[in-house]
Amino acid sequence: MNNKGKFYMTTAIAYTSGKPHIGNSYEIVLADCIARYKRADGYDVRFQTGSDEHGQKIETRAIEEGESPKEFVDETAGTIKHLWDLMNTSYDRFIRTTDADHEKQVQKIFKKLYDQGDIYKGSYEGIYCTECEAFYTKSQLTEEGKCPVCGGDVHPAKEEAYFFKMTKYADQLIEYINTHPEFIQPVSRKNEMMNNFLLPGLQDLCVSRTSFKWGIPVDFDPDHVVYVWLDALTNYITGVGYDAEGDSTDMYKKYWPADLHLIGKDIIRFHTIYWPIFLMALGEPLPKQVFGHPWLLQGGEKMSKSKGNVIYADDLVDMFGVDATRYFVVHEMPYENDGVITWELLVERINADLANTLGNLVNRTISMSNKYFGGVVEDKGVVEDVDADLKAVVCGAYDKVEKLMDSLRVADALSEIFTVYKRLNKYIDETEPWVLAKDESKHDRLATVLYNLTEGIVMATSLLAPFLPETGDRVVAQLNTSLRDFDTLGEFGLYPSGNKVTDAPEILFARLDKDEILAKAEEVQNRQRQEFLAHQKKARENLVKAGRMTPEEAAALEKAECGASASDEAVIDIEKKPEITFDDFEKLQFQVGEIIACEAVEKSKKLLCSQVRIGSEVKQIVSGIRKYYSPEEMVGKKVMVLVNLKPAKLAGVLSEGMLLCAEDAEGNLALLTPEKPMPAGAEIA
């Protein structure tokens, strides 16, 4: 491949408060697919990931475990790195914010910004959430006085702190974003940052803390530790050799600015507002692009240890293997809307795509080559009209995949590769090799057909290898060849004529039994629930020992948890309504809708206004669910809609239907969503 230049990409560094679930692991797998693809495409790739290891929450979690903070983060960072390695990710550096070179540079950066007047000393008073490590105003809290992000408890806090002058650089950042439309992707994330944060005006940012000690000390004022974002975000430059005193390494000069920061949509504010402003203050170039990927949700909801619905990468690998897990999490994530993972979907996707479309194709092709020609694959040059379309699809795949990967539509790129495999399967049906084998005069045609199939598989698999690296190697090994360079993928016929394939083809992906997988999943989730309860008990005991919790508070929490656990299988009886006839029911029109936009209703703390696609039309629907869903969470959801409800105004906003929800005994609401993928407009009957 020709050298296309450097490509430096990073993921967010994983927070070491606990073991990452599959939604977190999705990011590293997505990043690895991009990195491997770019390498194969001729780029000099530098790929960095790592762990974020400081903060009050870490300090508290260490106490819960009965360990020092350093012992705790060493253990948790090891778990994270093990999972990243298990998923076969090809990062160049796993940086830890406790690494000595990073800590030294963070202190230098803090001092430089202080000396040039961008950081000043003050005090902060507000409402603080320890879980999110963030301050909020009273108006930002939920109606119950809880954290607006995690829903947890908050408490008043006041302390001396250093602040960064965000306002000094706000106009410069707005100008940059407006003149660099590629900087924040997808575009919806850019609009959110501009409208919700930048245009209303920024507040100066707290960048040090004195209420806890687990952090990088401010070296000229050791009562303070550097607060989370100035520590965490700077890993992207410290990890490649940045020096705040002007002695940066050749690696830094080569690779910075980053070509891509790949992060979750929940932290895009910090990466597209705080981070570029820090860089402007340091006089360093901004990253070329920040992509805020969506979330992977378990059955349409966030994963929770207390619910026992968390799915971990190592559990999936145990059941399905590394490449099957990689395939699913990448394939099921839309470009900007949340994806869904369920055990049923896993089985369905692996059976249909991996076992059937890919695995069966490779196995049939090799088996027929062995059956009819003793494994020898030769191009006899007996061409028929049907070959031209096959070759066009195979040879045209690289350009299509390249375009999709350049725009980070990774799931679509993967689907495009499987379009080639599907075309190859169709070619088998069109040419009917088993029929050709019965006619001696057609043997050269049969040989050509099997050659075309083999060549097509090699070319498609060369594109697949960055996504499923083990599978790519296994396929070409069975075909007794190697993966093709990308710059040759427009040329059909490079497989050596006369080559011999393996005489013992292996099954790439075995078909799965759904009931067996669901039974194993239930065992996993039961184990998780028990582990969670045991951990919570241990944590309460250690918090009491450390004086962070009273015995009475611990007992109350245990009672609440036991009650929550007992209510997991609870039922609710409600007052029965009069019977209706089928004719009455027929008057109601229920359809699946897709929420394409959502915003809070200004005059209400309870209402959200959603734009809902139902078939070819879009309806505006107002719902009293703001307490349970943020506007960002709503976008992309498939929901059940009562379509023919008479329009009415709620808080002055027109509503043209109703979103259906379930309500528990405490009045908590949950949207009803289809169990399996359904198109917008599908009738509910």
Place of tokens 């959502």: 598
Which whole number is the average pLDDT over 155-179? Answer: 94
With cut-offs at 50, 70 and 90, classify the pLDDT of residue 570.
low
Give percent of the chain above pLDDT 70.
97
Q: What pLDDT score does 311 carry?
A: 92
Which whole number is the average pLDDT over 520-537? Answer: 89
pLDDT tops 90 at residue 636: no
pLDDT in tens, 306-355: 666 789 999 999 999 999 999 999 999 888 888 889 999 999 999 999 99
Which whole number is the average pLDDT over 88-94? Answer: 98
pLDDT tops 80 at residue 410: yes
pLDDT tops 70 at residue 301: no
229, amino acid identity: W
Which whole number is the average pLDDT over 641-651? Answer: 90
Q: What pLDDT score does 322 carry?
A: 98
Rounded CA gap, 463 and 472, in Å? 9
With cut-offs at 50, 70 and 90, classify the pLDDT of residue 565.
low
645, amino acid identity: L
Which whole number is the average pLDDT over 53-72? Answer: 95
Q: Which of 274, 279, 231 is nearest to 256 (CA)?
A: 279
Give one DSSP letter per residue of 336-358, joined into a string.
SSPEEE-HHHHHHHIIIIIIIII
Count of H helices and E strands in the chain? 24, 27
Rounded CA gap, 370 and 305, in Å? 51
pTM for this prediction: 0.81
Q: What pLDDT score does 300 carry?
A: 59
Q: What pLDDT score does 76 carry?
A: 97
Helix (H) or strand (E) holding 94: strand 93-96
Which whole number is the average pLDDT over 424-451? Answer: 97
SS3 (DSSP) at 77: helix
State how far the alpha carbon of 430 is from the alpha carbons of 377, 385, 419, 442, 444, in Å.
19, 11, 16, 15, 17
Q: What pLDDT score does 120 carry?
A: 97
Q: Specify the higher pLDDT residue, 35 or 680.
A: 35
Please give the mean pLDDT across all residues of the chain: 92
pLDDT tops 90 at residue 293: yes
pLDDT tops 60 at residue 415: yes
Q: What pLDDT score does 134 carry?
A: 74
- Mention every residue, 6+ apart, whose C-beta is less than 8 A from residue 113: 119, 164, 278, 281, 282
Q: What pLDDT score does 305 carry?
A: 67
Instruction: Return the CA Rg of the chain.
Output: 28
CA within 13 Å, CB half, 122: 12
Place of tokens 């475990």: 65
